[in-house]
Amino acid sequence: MPDPDVPSRAAGSAHTVCIDEDRDGQRIDNFLLGYLKGAPRSLIYKLLRSGQVRVNGGRVKAERRLEGGDQVRIPPIQVDEPGDKGTPPQGFMDALDAAIVFEDVRLLALNKPSGVASHGGSGISFGAIETMRALRPKESLELVHRLDRDTSGLLVIAKKRSALTELQALMREEGGIAKRYLALLVGRMPDGTMSVDAPLHVGLRQGGERHVQVVSQLNSSAGKPSLSHFRVLERKGGHSYCEVRIETGRTHQIRVHAQHIGHAVAGDDKYGDAAVNKRLREQLGLKRMFLHAASLEFALDGGKVPYLLNAPLAPELVDVLDRLA
């Protein structure tokens, strides 16, 4: 939810917003998404690319981090009021309310079902964050991070601005947040832990679809450093049930690294093996990608307050494991 003194839509003419100290470190794209409630993400990035949004008089990129006192120029645009799109279906709201696995005064965590987007956009009216805001209209809720739509598991939402900024800072630190996933990888992985240190580059295909690929070490400057650790927990039916720990949080990181080592995530229709996915669907009923964000570990208040959040493996994935010989 926006601050009470911040308008939910831009006025009919350009205006300037002075950034408060408590927004220090927030990315400009995330600030605009919160400030211009109802504006599609595509419009936000178009405004940034075209230079219509300026910080202290200069053009900026989407990843620019704001500082208290910055002057942000907001161009004259028309966006929908938050209520214009209606409210999420009651059944959807009930399902996400039941998916809460942790809550305190600062945070709440969902065990997000597969198929639910973290946020709306690209033809999706209501993602997890919009639905939680509809459930709790009087609370200020902000996404701390995102999960792929097809990935289930822990999705953390901040209830206080201070928690959001501290968690975002931890995400930028090496080892600031320990992230653990569970995945079924196609084929037999070797024993031990396999570390994949392979830079990733996000490209766009025709139609605007994101596609991520590993870049060669000779051209590593074209990608962002990305490090994943895969460890086999159990081999079942010729495939490998693995724990995956990631030290970076790149787009589609686990999926692309798994493909890179020749053991794609089962059920991944973007980077996986179509023939294997079809066989798993017909024989085991695997109708989704087998990737689950299982746990997050971090500490707030400068390391004084530890958190260990866990999300149980989705029932449909437990069923698949049970069916594997």
- 49 within a domain of the structure (yes/no): yes
pTM of the predicted structure, to 2 decimals: 0.76
Residues identified as active-site? 148
Cβ neighbours around 279 below 10 Å, total: 13
Provide the residue range defining the domain that includes 94: 88-170
What CATH number has the domain bearing residue 71?
A: 3.10.290.10
Q: Is the pLDDT of residue 104 over 90?
A: yes
Q: Are residues 62 and 104 in the same domain?
A: no
Q: Are residues 308 and 196 in the same domain?
A: yes
Q: Are residues 179 and 41 in the same domain?
A: no
Quick one: pLDDT at residue 168?
Answer: 86
pLDDT in tens, 4-45: 334 444 445 788 888 877 677 788 988 888 788 767 888 899
Joined together, the tokens standing for residue 141 give 């809720």
- 213 within a domain of the structure (yes/no): yes
Q: Are residues 211 and 317 in the same domain?
A: yes
Annotate 126-164 with DSSP letters as a single string. Answer: --HHHHHHHH-TTS--EESS---TT-EEEEEEESSHHHH
pLDDT in tens, 234-247: 999 999 999 999 99
Q: Are residues 125 and 111 in the same domain?
A: yes
Q: Are residues 205 and 294 in the same domain?
A: yes
- 7 within a domain of the structure (yes/no): no
DSSP symbol at 325? -
DSSP symbol at 192? S
pLDDT in tens, 161-193: 889 989 988 988 888 999 999 999 999 999 989
Rounded to the nearest 10 degrees, the angle between the axes of helix 315-323 and helix 274-284 is 90
Q: Are residues 250 and 133 in the same domain?
A: no
Q: Rounded to an integer, what distance in angstroms lies between the CA atom of residue 295 and that of residue 219?
A: 33
What CATH number has the domain bearing residue 111?
A: 3.30.2350.10
- 247 within a domain of the structure (yes/no): yes
Q: Are residues 301 and 219 in the same domain?
A: yes
Quick one: pLDDT at residue 68?
Answer: 80
Of 140, 170, 200, the last residue of a domain is 170
Q: Are residues 221 and 97 in the same domain?
A: no
Helix (H) or strand (E) holding 187: none
Average pLDDT, the chain: 87
Q: Is the pLDDT of residue 312 over 90?
A: yes
Q: 193 in helix, strand or coil?
A: strand
pLDDT band per the 50, 70, 90 thresholds, residue 1: very low
pLDDT in tens, 46-60: 999 999 999 999 999
Of 56, 76, 96, the last residue of a domain is 76
More confident residue, 218 or 274: 274
Give the rounded percent of residues in the chain with a pLDDT score beyond 70.
Answer: 89
Quick one: pLDDT at residue 217?
Answer: 61
Quick one: pLDDT at residue 20?
Answer: 76
- Domain count of the chain? 3
Q: Are residues 158 and 249 in the same domain?
A: no
Q: Are residues 179 and 40 in the same domain?
A: no
Rounded to the nearest 10 degrees, the angle between the axes of helix 41-49 and helix 28-35 is 130
Q: Are residues 199 and 252 in the same domain?
A: yes
- 303 within a domain of the structure (yes/no): yes
pLDDT in tens, 210-227: 788 998 765 656 788 899
pLDDT band per the 50, 70, 90 thresholds, residue 66: confident
Of 170, 202, 237, the last residue of a domain is 170
Quick one: pLDDT at residue 80?
Answer: 53
